[in-house]
Structure 1
């Protein structure tokens, strides 16, 4: 029982750490997909949370059923061999773009909050990523189990501070001029994009865990945690609208008002969350490429890191605003097939 409990925590924290990346932890994704739609965001966040709980677990269960080695195996099971291969090629490009966003977010944190050059932030993150990823999946599980609980704690602190401020109730008052179609499409785009990206780590994670109940409970825990951080971020950002939109890292701007010590720790946690998603996505890319090219993993890792560095020169804000909605749109088809795909119980499983 204790072993299952620890496994559930590990799965949940890894799920949260994989989704809570640069756009999420910094506040950019929450602004773009939820806060901009005013009070409707509470309901759309609830929808996104339900989808994360349901489909995250389903993805891991399917990965275990087919013995997937990488996300390409899952895509072939969803789309068929030929189309699945094409989808995986597209996902390869998407993951490179997303990793560039993560890296750019790390560089922006160094520049906006620690008064260090943007390029220094990129290079420090790349070196740390290379050293960590040489340890494989265990490194991803360990770092998420450390970082995510602290992120949850400080998210609660920001939420408490927001509720005690004069503008703490603005999340119930903000309105939007956008159509109902756009409002309700946003959580589908957001969930589709993040779940499609989470394949990189959730597929090998699910394939390696035989305890189906632990996967379901881990997905429940992880999905609720993601929903809590989404809602807390939305409430905090709403209380500072519209001025908070001027920051490339909006949550960093809010943290400044909590005092230097809290701000430093919170910014460090934002960087850590960016880092956890970056190493998870790059790990998935290396696994996928290993099935295609006879190149040592360390060489593949270096090539991917160099490509991400080159793409990150575009900058964090422009990458999030242009790439995320576009990739979310392409991910809707993947989301629909995940909803329709049935899972089966494996012999001898719980």
Structure 2
């Protein structure tokens, strides 16, 4: 492959990682709840999740490439037929709006709890920044993720090397759990299903706009491996601080605070950036979907979506998270099973 093709593959990987790594991932709560609390079994669950991210991420983008999908509704119709595809896409529209509201509320919470600024100010500043960046379309998402993802990887490495100096670094291989085995076996499917169902809003247009399927394949491989790497490093760090780390609302923040104040504030900034990248991706996917059906100006759709998210964000980050995520997870699992079973046409050489 040419150097330019490698660059495009890395860009796809960065967008993939930036879309998956949202507020719950960056804070460590997702890693703790889905993997670390299951002890050593969580390690194997992460390895299997990494495989699923590579395989299904590639599958989503390749199909979008083959059918030249304009939005995720085109993908779902191709996968499941006109009626079922429309129903799934309608659910996803609601999911994207709900998760966007959660991300916006998360940004407001970071302003309020960590920077001692107004929650409403956080919502407004984040919403305005999101609107003007998305006027540039996919270019904005590529640019933001090209900056944020490398910084997140660097911070992950800092946490990793700090953990290596601890006497119980290998706890992730030996730590015990009281949870039954079947719960840890189900987590890779639940975790991957929810995250990939949301990521399709961005993965579909990426696949459709990419001219070479080899670029897609390498992008999915690099992105999936990157997600797996951040998961395993977070899991190793959290395992080394178990069980005390469970008391923190932001577990990785508790680890970072023990390192230094400067590292802690860098980490908080990264959390905000990760929330912002997920917000950009979800609003973008939502806007493409509505534009295709209504032909309304994309800028108007983006503005209305952000305004809706602002009013939904008044409910609060914690309340939105607890209410919407379990419902969306259940819906996403059905989508996951259907797409996993779908057989694709071979690539024409």
Q: Which TM-score bucket, shorter chain as reference? A: over 0.9
Distance 1:234 1:273, change over 3 A: same
The runs of at least 4 consecutive aligned structure 1 residues that moved more than 4 Å come to none
CA distance in 1, matches of 2:250, 2:124: 19
Whether the aligned pair in 2 keeps the contact of 1:31 and 1:237 (CA below 8 Å) is: yes
TM-score, normalised to structure 2, is 0.95
* Whole-Å separation in 1 of the counterparts to 2:245 and 2:123: 24
Distance 1:224 1:266, change over 3 A: same
The answer to whether the 8 A contact 1:59-1:203 is kept is yes
Query: 1:130: Cα distance to partner?
Result: 0.8
Corresponding residue of 1:297: 298
Q: For residues 157 and 147 of structure 2, what CA distance do their matches in structure 1 show?
A: 17
d(CA) in 2 for partners of 1:30 and 1:36?
A: 9
Per mean C-alpha deviation after superposition, the further-off stretch among 103-112 and 185-194 is 103-112
* Residues 22 and 101 in structure 1, CA contact (< 8 A), matched pair in contact too: no
**Distance (whole Å) between structure 2 residues aligned to residue 165 and residue 321 of structure 1:** 34
- Give the total of aligned pairs: 348
Deviation at 1:167, TM superposition (A): 4.4
Q: Distance in 1 between matches of 2:94 and 2:182?
A: 29
Contact 1:26–1:252 (Cα < 8 Å) also in 2: yes
State the partner residue of 1:236. 237
CA distance in 1, matches of 2:250, 2:111: 11
Unpaired stretches in structure 2, ≥5 consecutive residues: none
Q: Deviations over 1:80-120 (max 9, x none)?
A: 10011011111111111111221122122222222222222
Match of 2:326 in 1: 325
The alpha carbon displacement at 1:346 in A equals 4.6
- Separation in 2, partners of 1:186, 1:105: 24
The corresponding residue for 1:10 is 11
Question: Aligned-pair distance for 1:68?
Answer: 0.5
Alignment of 1:1-350 (within 5 A): 1-347=2-348
Q: Deviations over 1:269-298 (max 9, x none)?
A: 221111111101100000001122242222
Give the distance between the partners of 2:172 and 2:323, measured in 1 at CA: 26
Q: Tell me how far apart the structure 2 counterparts of residues 303 and 162 of structure 1 sit (CA, whole Å).
A: 44
Distance 2:37 2:336 in 1: 23
Q: Supply the RMSD in Å over aligned alpha carbons.
A: 1.6
User: Aligned partners of 1:8, 1:40: CA distance in 2, in Å?
Assistant: 32
